[in-house]
Structure 1
């Protein structure tokens, strides 16, 4: 390659590599990313200042520094993060070793691996489009390396055509190729992956931290009727034990008795986002579901499958149910108190007829007490480190759903009425474009279950008495704004905000279908899809795959190989042979199978004074012979150049 051509290809290659590594700024340690940027910038400077490039001893020292940097991050030897850091560091170091065309190939292949590693972190359709574009640029580098004086725009166009030609076969293989799940021993645990969400314990105010988060938890698509907002309780961990401040799950697991259900069912598909717990949030009360889901003793769905990847489940729930009676152990766990209640607490329970009235009446009295007294619902309650329940009831009277749930259960238990806290999510925002519901961390909620004779566990939500809009209204960004969370609605006209909301829902619908039908396309979904076409075994699937891929390949081959003979083509060869005949007078004979480019390079060595004319004739001939945009004017130009050439 010529020096000038090397310069253009290097700029092209380094720019593509920079675009490939850039998204990893959110995934790798800042030190590793900074080290790579230093190496990339150094190599960029070396394009114009070759003497600035490091010698082998310096490169060896940089390699040792890179190894030390990787070791200092303590991210292990195996796994996603360790492998990504290693590849990015190796890519940066290899950039300083570019000496021959072979190095360009090696760096390009290594860059493709780094590009693919991005999907280990993010699998959105936007990221897929971005990686496709940067890989197109990287492929254009390979095209430019193997082309003669091809411009950047032409190389990009050629690489785009190659990718477009490969996409049909890639789609066919994606749909038909047997899905093979990796064995569990090959799944490296990522110990540094942070996920936020509900915990298996609760303190006053702990859930309020989540209401500021728009992180998606799961999406739901209903097969029929959609429950009203006041029935959208997505059940999570059930907390029965309290030490006076923290509520945790009871260590006692009693045998599960399936509740009896009545009324119309709600059938829906859950698409759970990756999380660090094996919880699956379903509407009260889940009744029909398939493995790997199971229902634990607290009527919470859990999965035995991997919970750190996106998963889809089919569930049927009933809004009206009866869980039946309690045994002695369940009753004891449901009335547990951390200590003897104070006289003020007993006086309040007595005032509300908790000791001598029916449980239903005490529940109504307590809800009325919260509603009529000076209680307030807030996301920023005062700190209550010591004796938080009494402080909330008699002093601050300001709290989030966790405060009201804790106080309600405590007062129920003082009255010897079994009660417990249920955490999960309440509500959800309906995406009208895709006709599915999105539940986010901001929808985190805590409510109460009280056990009543002949009814079993009954849901009671004290928050509804204080902030009914938290329960009754459709969950939306408007509601979160009313709670004091700054959104675009605070600063934009209503029409602009509505437009942004529709755009957001449209994008959410596209992303939902991408996640469900592409990212979550596993062996189960493939089997279901293939069965609809009558493909019920591996042998039939392989036949289909061969037939579809073969058909696509045949069509592509026809377009690629069949080209109408170009009128100027034979004449161009005739004029070029005249040019070769003139060079033969100086002992320059074109060898059998020798390309025009190689022959020109050999001729220029022997006739340096005619190098410019030789290049011009060769360029026009290659364009006429192999190019797609050759014209009659180019043929006339070649004829004129050959006629004027004097060796």
Structure 2
């Protein structure tokens, strides 16, 4: 059947609009050339709805297909993998639009569009994207309803599609919860080029961390099983940097097995939800003690994971803020006292003046922190650029710096005094979400501090940045922090009730997103086993039985609802036809339950042969209206007139 009628034109417009909405989010994921090529084909097909003569011939379609293949080949992405497959399906969908000539083509295009819609979840799995894809798939389903309906009106098709979607959701939820979660074999996981993400590096230079503080990007979220540690103890440990060339700090060249630190005090048990990143680092609360595979602890007491860091992951960790790492071995001592060269006389004089050579390490630490506090040192995100001798220039000239400046200068002076010290990078603090009762740690919380080894205490954390007086923190820090934590500059002009409402709305949304990521996106085999075991479902056999029982119950309820609902009295065709049946019933011709319209008409003509022609005409119009695809509004008026004139 060629697409010629006005009804088919409306269906085609609806289908093309739904496909445009489906492909639109891929503008952020596919190359601009591929997206532009698809938009060109979609616009071409839209124009062909009103002017069919503009549609290309077969030879032109072959030429366009060749151009599409050449375009995909020029991207050098191969034929396997997420990006290559998505580009291929979108290009094929655009080309297939130009071939829509029969009803069969509408089905093929619709099924291909469903695949493209599902591919969006390979890139983004937020709750907003899930709602968007559900909406556009509902529109696509409405198109299929319109294709198969003799009354292909947009409101009715949308209503039917919405009902079908709502009926399918309970079964989809049951399958999601109970169907065994199967991990894809490693040979099926095609390597994709990772998207470069901002974050901490395993090296540190002056100003490297200050750039992160301007970013609002989420790093991880933490939910504690009990009390949340106070802000001064929220140090999330990352890479430990021990070697320096005077400007750059890097990890030690070797990592020997370490002795587990002794811990005291109350433990903090928490669940970490790590966002995708480039490194296999887990930023645990200092000091991590309890954890399980795939997590392990390296020689710098930093947690690392053997799983792929490029996906969101959840971990259970226990940390103690009171700990003792024990004695230092010779290798650690050499690494923690390494200097890039002989210190200058000014450095030695400063260390000597602060009694670094002739007093216990604790006293020298206090003297150095007092020096930072008493002298004209400033905390700033935009310190002056120092090319040569950055530590010495910071201590004696600029005195403007960020946490990396203070940490590196502090560790350097400790080493000049022959005290083992090293730089630790990570995150400090975190914003509490009171709605979900969890902490959000973002790039804006990036920080660097120092560790000093002290006799009988092991490695002890010292944060020299905290020595800077609060009044010396430049105003730009506060502005940046406010912006980073989602408080727009215009918010300060809002009335207090409006500001509080906006802040609460943000917290509510982040709490919803957090639970969506934990319980839906991260619902893997391990999570499923833990969740189902709480209901006594401990093996595959019980899981399958439960799945059959639940889906069977849902299906039974839906069947009862569909089969035993009251007939719709609002159907005008049935109402008019029932009046015809009532007229025949007065003469003893009662339509039997389940009797077809044609069979009833034949029985009526035998008893009323003189009205056979009128009975045939009414029956034919009724069947066309009720079951045909070519019925119009004129047919309804004709049926109403024929029944009104009928006299048995």
Note whether the superposition's TM-score is higher than 0.5: yes
| Alpha carbons 1:80, 1:120 under 8 Å: kept | yes
| Alpha carbons 2:453, 2:459 under 8 Å: kept | yes
- Residues 292-350 of structure 1 show CA distances to partners (whole Å, capped at 9, x for unaligned) of 11111110011112221111111111111000111111100111111221222112111
The alpha-carbon distance between structure 1 residues 454 and 528, as it changes in their structure 2 partners (threshold 3 A), is same
Note if 1:596 corresponds to 2:597: no
Note if 1:50 corresponds to 2:57: no
CA shift, 1:490, in A, is: 4.5
Segments of 4+ moved more than 3 angstroms = 467-471, 475-495, 563-570, 572-586, 588-592, 597-601, 614-620, 641-645
The alpha-carbon distance between structure 1 residues 361 and 398, as it changes in their structure 2 partners (threshold 3 A), is same
Deviates more, 1:141-150 or 1:557-566: 557-566
Counterparts of 1:512-551 in structure 2, within 5 Å, are: 512-551=514-553
Residue aligning to 1:571 = 578
Taking structure 1 as the reference length, the TM-score comes to 0.89
Q: 1:402 aligns with which of 401, 404, 418?
A: 404
| Alpha carbons 1:572, 1:638 under 8 Å: kept | no
Residue aligning to 1:22 = 24
Note if 1:430 corresponds to 2:432: yes
| Alpha carbons 1:617, 1:642 under 8 Å: kept | no
- Alignment partners' CA distance in 2, 1:583 and 1:432: 79
| Alpha carbons 1:464, 1:470 under 8 Å: kept | no
Note if 1:314 corresponds to 2:316: yes
Deviates more, 1:136-145 or 1:45-54: 45-54
CA shift, 1:573, in A, is: 7.2
CA shift, 1:185, in A, is: 2.2
CA shift, 1:355, in A, is: 1.5
CA shift, 1:446, in A, is: 0.7
Unaligned runs of 5+ in 1: 605-613, 621-636
CA shift, 1:542, in A, is: 0.7
- Alignment partners' CA distance in 1, 2:551 and 2:366: 68
- Residues 178-198 of structure 1 show CA distances to partners (whole Å, capped at 9, x for unaligned) of 111112222222214222211
Deviates more, 1:485-494 or 1:340-349: 485-494
CA shift, 1:483, in A, is: 11
CA shift, 1:583, in A, is: 12
| Alpha carbons 1:220, 1:437 under 8 Å: kept | yes
Residue aligning to 2:156 = 154
- Alignment partners' CA distance in 2, 1:483 and 1:93: 45
- Alignment partners' CA distance in 2, 1:469 and 1:9: 67
Deviates more, 1:283-292 or 1:185-194: 185-194
Residue aligning to 2:378 = 376
| Alpha carbons 2:247, 2:390 under 8 Å: kept | yes
Residue aligning to 2:103 = 101
| Alpha carbons 2:601, 2:619 under 8 Å: kept | no
Q: 1:121 aligns with which of 114, 118, 123?
A: 123
Taking structure 2 as the reference length, the TM-score comes to 0.89
- Alignment partners' CA distance in 1, 2:184 and 2:250: 35
- Alignment partners' CA distance in 2, 1:411 and 1:228: 30
- Alignment partners' CA distance in 1, 2:470 and 2:481: 12
Note if 1:10 corresponds to 2:38: no
- Alignment partners' CA distance in 2, 1:274 and 1:573: 68
The alpha-carbon distance between structure 1 residues 492 and 278, as it changes in their structure 2 partners (threshold 3 A), is same
Q: State the SS of the aligned residue for 1:464.
A: helix
| Alpha carbons 1:600, 1:618 under 8 Å: kept | no
- Alignment partners' CA distance in 2, 1:85 and 1:19: 16
Note if 1:496 corresponds to 2:501: no
- Residues 111-151 of structure 1 show CA distances to partners (whole Å, capped at 9, x for unaligned) of 11111111111111111111100100000000000001321
Q: CA RMSD in A?
A: 3.0
Q: State the SS of the aligned residue for 1:307.
A: coil
Q: 2:171 aligns with which of 169, 172, 180?
A: 169
Residue aligning to 1:76 = 78
Q: 2:463 aligns with which of 452, 461, 464?
A: 461
Q: 1:197 aligns with which of 191, 196, 199?
A: 199
Deviates more, 1:394-403 or 1:446-455: 394-403
The alpha-carbon distance between structure 1 residues 584 and 150, as it changes in their structure 2 partners (threshold 3 A), is farther
| Alpha carbons 1:254, 1:330 under 8 Å: kept | no
CA shift, 1:23, in A, is: 0.9
| Alpha carbons 2:379, 2:472 under 8 Å: kept | no
- Residues 257-301 of structure 1 show CA distances to partners (whole Å, capped at 9, x for unaligned) of 100011111111111111111111111111111111111111001
- Alignment partners' CA distance in 2, 1:397 and 1:227: 32
Q: 1:142 aligns with which of 117, 122, 144?
A: 144
Residue aligning to 2:594 = none
CA shift, 1:94, in A, is: 1.0
Q: State the SS of the aligned residue for 2:266.
A: strand
Note if 1:279 corresponds to 2:281: yes
Q: 2:213 aligns with which of 211, 214, 218?
A: 211
The alpha-carbon distance between structure 1 residues 641 and 378, as it changes in their structure 2 partners (threshold 3 A), is farther
| Alpha carbons 1:425, 1:443 under 8 Å: kept | yes
Note if 1:112 corresponds to 2:114: yes
Residue aligning to 2:591 = none
The alpha-carbon distance between structure 1 residues 340 and 525, as it changes in their structure 2 partners (threshold 3 A), is same
| Alpha carbons 1:481, 1:489 under 8 Å: kept | no
Q: 1:65 aligns with which of 64, 67, 76?
A: 67
The alpha-carbon distance between structure 1 residues 211 and 478, as it changes in their structure 2 partners (threshold 3 A), is closer
Residue aligning to 1:640 = 641
Residue aligning to 1:628 = none
The alpha-carbon distance between structure 1 residues 468 and 67, as it changes in their structure 2 partners (threshold 3 A), is farther
CA shift, 1:433, in A, is: 0.5
Q: State the SS of the aligned residue for 1:31.
A: helix
Note if 1:450 corresponds to 2:452: yes
| Alpha carbons 2:274, 2:313 under 8 Å: kept | yes
The alpha-carbon distance between structure 1 residues 240 and 208, as it changes in their structure 2 partners (threshold 3 A), is same
